[in-house]
Amino acid sequence: MAQDSAYPPAAPATASPQTTNQGNRTFLFEFQWKNFKTLVKDMATPNAPPNYIADFKFFALRPKVYLKSGDGKTTLSTGTLYNVHINSDIVLRGQNIKLEAARRLKTHYIYKSSAFAQSGEKPVMMTWNTTCTAREWHFNLLDENQIAVARYSVDWYALKKFAKLEIIGPRGYDEKVVEEVMATAFTLYGCMLFRMNNIFALFGSAFHKKAGKGEVDSGDLKKAAEEDYEDARKQDVKPVSPPRDSMQGAPGSAAVKQ
């Protein structure tokens, strides 16, 4: 993958043939109650300054989800949520990304990715879906071949260290990939929280039929919905294994179940 000039060069991935998590990279999301912001740290260097800062602005006419640099001085991405419309729009370093709902009630979103595309080729279709356990809410990112490439896991009961993002393979050390996955994961998480606590989103779900005239067309939506239906019918959905490190945090409720 060719590196964009706006991104630093990717660090080489350290691989070990003895581990199944070969080259994986995991980030911890730690909520700060004093300023209501979320610090995002690479779990390989937990004592280092944060790599990113994530922030919600729900109480606004047009709710926003931000991803900023570790020092908080640069806004890398801005996600826009809507009171009725259940899609989300993201601007990542000037690039427009449309998170398009492929299902009305079930969490199944698709978007066109340039970070996962081969150098010089057109963007590829990526899919976010969810699975749940008694303790965690998993957002699974699948590539165009429906292979898991990342997972964002939220702990229902954590008050501080509430989530982890695991990017599978050496692409976790490509900052362009990291920022795209981070921006889409956190925006989708914010979108689902907002939908579940916003009665108007129910009307948006009811009347949501097809994609608009954006990057994702109705054919893409139809294909994603058909794949989702077949997976559910066969009951053969096998989500990516969760990160090896268990979630930490005090008992409580940091998220509302879907």
Token digits of residue 96: 């427009």
Rounded Cα distance between 97 and 87, Å, is: 11
- The predicted pLDDT at position 101 comes to 87
The strand pairing partners of 99, in sequence order, are 88
Name, of 82-91, 134-143, 224-233, the range with top average pLDDT. Answer: 134-143
Query: What is the residue-averaged pLDDT of the chain?
Result: 77
For 238-257, how does the pLDDT look when each residue is reduced to its tens digit (9 = 90+)?
Answer: 444 444 443 333 333 344 34
pTM of the model: 0.71
- The predicted pLDDT at position 192 comes to 87
Task: Look at 144 and 199; give whichever has higher pLDDT.
Answer: 144
For 124-177, how does the pLDDT look when each residue is reduced to its tens digit (9 = 90+)?
Answer: 999 999 999 999 999 999 999 999 999 999 998 998 999 999 999 999 999 999
Task: Look at 187 and 253; give whichever has higher pLDDT.
Answer: 187
Task: Look at 128 and 62; give whichever has higher pLDDT.
Answer: 128
Evaluate if residue 182 carries a pLDDT over 90: yes
- DSSP per position, 145-189: TS-EEEEEEEETT-SSEEEEEEE-SGGGG-HHHHHHHHHHHHHHH
The strand pairing partners of 75, in sequence order, are 68
Binned at pLDDT 50, 70 and 90, residue 201 comes out as very low
Residue 98: count of CB within 10 angstroms of its CB: 17
- The predicted pLDDT at position 85 comes to 78
Rounded Cα distance between 92 and 175, Å, is: 12
Task: Look at 38 and 9; give whichever has higher pLDDT.
Answer: 38
Evaluate if residue 183 carries a pLDDT over 50: yes
Task: Look at 258 and 56; give whichever has higher pLDDT.
Answer: 56
- The predicted pLDDT at position 218 comes to 52
Task: Look at 141 and 108; give whichever has higher pLDDT.
Answer: 141
Evaluate if residue 207 carries a pLDDT over 50: no
